[in-house]
Chain A
Amino acid sequence: MADVKTTGAHVHGEAAHHASYLEENKGIMNWLVTYDHKRIGLMYLWSVLLMFLVGGLFALLVRLELLTPGEDLMNAETYNRVFTLHGAIMVFLFIIPAVPASLGNFVLPLMLGAKDVAFPKLNLASYYIYVVGAIMAILSIVLGGVDTGWTFYTPYSTSTAGAVTLMTLSVFVLGFSSIFTGLNFIATIHTLRAPGMSWYNLPLFVWGTYATSVIQVMATPVLGITTVLLVMERVFQVGIFDARLGGDPVLFQHFFWFYSHPAVYIMILPGMAIISELIPTFSKKTIFGYRGIAFSSIAIALVSFLVWAHHMFTSGQSPLTNAIFSFLTFLVAIPSGIKVFNWTATMYRGSISLKTPMLYAMSFLLLFTIGGLTGLFLGTLATDIHLHDTYFVVAHFHYVMMGGTVIAFIGGLFYWWPKMVGRMYSEKGGALSAILVFIGFNATFLPQFIMGSRGMPRRYFTYLDQFQPLHQFSTVGAEILGAGILVAILTLVASLRKKPDAIANPWGGSTLEWEAQSPPVTHNFVGTPVLEHAPYDYRHAKVEG
């Protein structure tokens, strides 16, 4: 572990317990107006978990409806609403805020040795903006529903009935929450690092979060503009996207993906950031290729702005445009590849402890690799023509978003849980959840690659009989996956009923957050931590679990 000098109090060993941030200022009102990044992080955590459950429920409904061709549970119109809500909730209300706003909020200042984020009030504001956005999204379900798909493609989205305007405005509002979090983290990382913590001594989680924040701040305004234009188009018929008024529907796709491709990296970079913490800790070995991982995050953040039109290879854009975007798409694949190789190399000759977070990290490596490799089929022009807008694409992005980000998120949650709530969870429950999730996930999405290649388009309410066996396999997989997630949540929640039993550093982690007591005091550290060694330097580690 990093050698840390603290002034004023001891850190190692059986420290006297100070009142933690959970014990001080109890009461719901104190929580609601708190500026403490840890409390805000926890409030975010419960909120995004709630959204995850809602989005997951919609996913299960979709899978159940697809058990047989034709109408089972719902009609086509309802089905279209349900898959739209699954996508919109998972993307805008769960994955985008999940890691940065919940885990990031909690861990980032601790990792830097800071007392809080740079702008605590802005942090709380970002949370309430998120809540307002979430309420608007939920309201739009009640007030007529939305059936546009999470991509809101025009002219469908400007002509269909339902509460599209409200949902679009909700996305607009949520964007501000995302921008505020990003701004806050950038300022925090620049200004609040502990003495001795140079940029190259930053934990990789911080590098990943930094890259994410840069995209959040730079790309999200474009989403804001796009949603405003869409609302203007719907309400006032301005004619930017409407062909009958001289607009161009494909222009919307450019606007949309100009945000939403970088947003893919808003979603995956934090996942990668978590993995960069889990693997060294549970391999008890220094990270291999620190700079490679750090700079690849930055490279991804920059190149991610230049690949958006790879979502539009069949939209009628020119072959030259297609060629350029195909090429750039291959370029952005390289940094992700470097990371995967560096992570596996970190495990080489390590002392690997297969605790729950590490099981999730290993799942991540396998699933994210599949997600990345299947991206090659889609970045390649000739094969994308066949595979675009099919279940192949659905499977591909679920491998990256769910197999990547969500798995990393759950792994990170198990990793930092003792720090957050001061309690250890049942290792058996954690391992069981990791295994169920891994099996269920593959059973759900592997068949979808085959279906897509064979001719199954996405967003289909009914389908040809030939696809039924694969659809059924996938539905059963989704149920196993759902059970796995449930076991994970129950395992964590069950730990809350125990007495606090977590020591400061249960895993032998080497970054600063493990120097704080579990759970930390309101101002994080008793005294000011000073960093003397780079993170992940296990030569200085004491004997630990």
Chain B
Amino acid sequence: MLPRQGSTIAGPMDDLYMFIFWLSVVFFIIIAGQVVWFGMKYRRRGPGEKTPHITHHLNLELAWSIIPLLLCIVLFFWGFDGYMKATVVPGDAMEIQVRAKRWQWEFEYPDGIRALNDLYIPVNKKIRMVMISDDVLHSFWVPEFRVKMDVLPNRYTDVWFESTIPGTYNLTCTEYCGKGHSTMRGSIKVLTPVEYEDFVKEGPPELKNMPLRELGELVYKSRGCESCHSLDGSRRDGPSWKGIFGKTEKFTDGTSAVVDENYIRESLMNPHSKIVATYEAVMPVYKGLLRDREVLGVIEYIKSLK
């Protein structure tokens, strides 16, 4: 009935689920059994049958008020306990920022690396998702982890889990958000510690095999370079990348240099050491935010922009 147990809280929650399930089965059999059995046993055989005049029975009525009440109280405490364990975030959790917008999930790792819809996390590690929405309500649900929390536009909400088995898990949106609601999916890829280290260094496997130039283009589009650098020579907050490779760049301090591989790397890691003339020092520092291969990708990409 329930999906695979992918997190530490799935087990206890399923125990409670199964407890309520069997409790319900017992009560259903008692009630439905009576209805069907009485319906057959006391079926009217002919007109004029007399029936006993039983108006009430205090003890019986007390019994079927109090016993369900006690069971309900048990369910309440059990459920509350499970809920607190599932929702109070342990202190040592790794934090991932989640930005939900119609109809995609954006993740940001502690080191500033961002990802769209696919999240890579290490197994057996507590993860806390800090979530906010860009537009309407959404809800973060990973059925196999048994966690769910609404994502609001005006307030951060959080959810935490510790996955126990490496593998791929579906993330779905469970708060109606319009046309793409049912396709607002993501996947959570739980990696072994070794795989995860690899991931941190080199990025997700599908990027590992991407040609450098394409990777550079992806960085340009997904890391905000696009908002300050044009490709067609037009001026934005930063110089256009069109044809800059090999060009000589003049700086505000009067010096100049040729744009080559080292210059580009330096511009990303330490942009404020040399400011291109007529521009201001607004370029963000990408040191630690871009993986090595991504820097190489940017260089290849800029080279290709003739």
* B83 contacts A288, C-beta separation under 8 Å: no
A171 to B175, CA, bound (A): 23
Q: Which of B51-59, B218-226, B284-292 contacts A (4 or more CB under 8 A)?
A: B51-59
Q: Which of B62-70, B234-242, B260-268 contacts A (4 or more CB under 8 A)?
A: B62-70
A290 to B61, CA, bound (A): 11
A340 interfacial contact with B, CB 8 Å: yes
> B157-196 CB contact bits vs A (8 Å, 1 = yes)?
1000000000000101111111111110000000000000
* A289 contacts B61, C-beta separation under 8 Å: yes
Given contacts A319-B83, A380-B16, A389-B139, contact A337 B24 (CB under 8 A): no
B306 interfacial contact with A, CB 8 Å: no
Q: Which of A156, A291, A316, A455 contacts B155 (CB 8 A)?
A: A316
Q: Which of A98-106, A115-123, A537-545 contacts B (4 or more CB under 8 A)?
A: A537-545
Collect the chain B residues with CB atoms within 8 Å of residue A284's CB.
44, 49, 51
User: Chain A CB within 10 Å — which of B53, B147, B178 has the most?
Assistant: B178
> B36-62 CB contact bits vs A (8 Å, 1 = yes)?
101100111001111111111100110
Collect the chain A residues with CB atoms within 8 Å of residue B42's CB.
283, 347-352
> A434-451 CB contact bits vs B (8 Å, 1 = yes)?
000000000000000010
Collect the chain B residues with CB atoms within 8 Å of residue A450's CB.
1
Q: Which of A147, A244, A538 contacts B178 (CB 8 A)?
A: A147
* B38 contacts A348, C-beta separation under 8 Å: yes
B154 interfacial contact with A, CB 8 Å: yes
Q: Which of A136-144, A412-420, A457-465 contacts B (4 or more CB under 8 A)?
A: A457-465
* A314 contacts B139, C-beta separation under 8 Å: yes
Q: Which of A258-266, A369-377, A401-409, A474-482 contacts B (4 or more CB under 8 A)?
A: A369-377
A342 interfacial contact with B, CB 8 Å: yes
A353 interfacial contact with B, CB 8 Å: yes
Q: Which of A155, A338, A354, A457 contacts B153 (CB 8 A)?
A: A155
Collect the chain A residues with CB atoms within 8 Å of residue B183's CB.
462
* A249 contacts B153, C-beta separation under 8 Å: yes
A19 interfacial contact with B, CB 8 Å: no
* B174 contacts A149, C-beta separation under 8 Å: no
* A243 contacts B51, C-beta separation under 8 Å: no
* A314 contacts B148, C-beta separation under 8 Å: yes
* B86 contacts A382, C-beta separation under 8 Å: yes
Q: Which of A301-309, A327-335, A515-523 contacts B (4 or more CB under 8 A)?
A: A327-335
* B residues adjacent to A (C-beta < 8 A): 1-3, 12-13, 16-17, 20-21, 23-24, 27-28, 31-32, 34-36, 38-39, 42-44, 47-57, 60-61, 64-65, 68-69, 72-73, 75-76, 78-84, 86-88, 135-137, 139, 141, 143-144, 146-150, 152-155, 157, 170, 172-183
8 A-B pairs with C-beta separation under 8 A = A249-B154, A285-B51, A316-B152, A351-B44, A385-B148, A388-B174, A389-B174, A537-B53
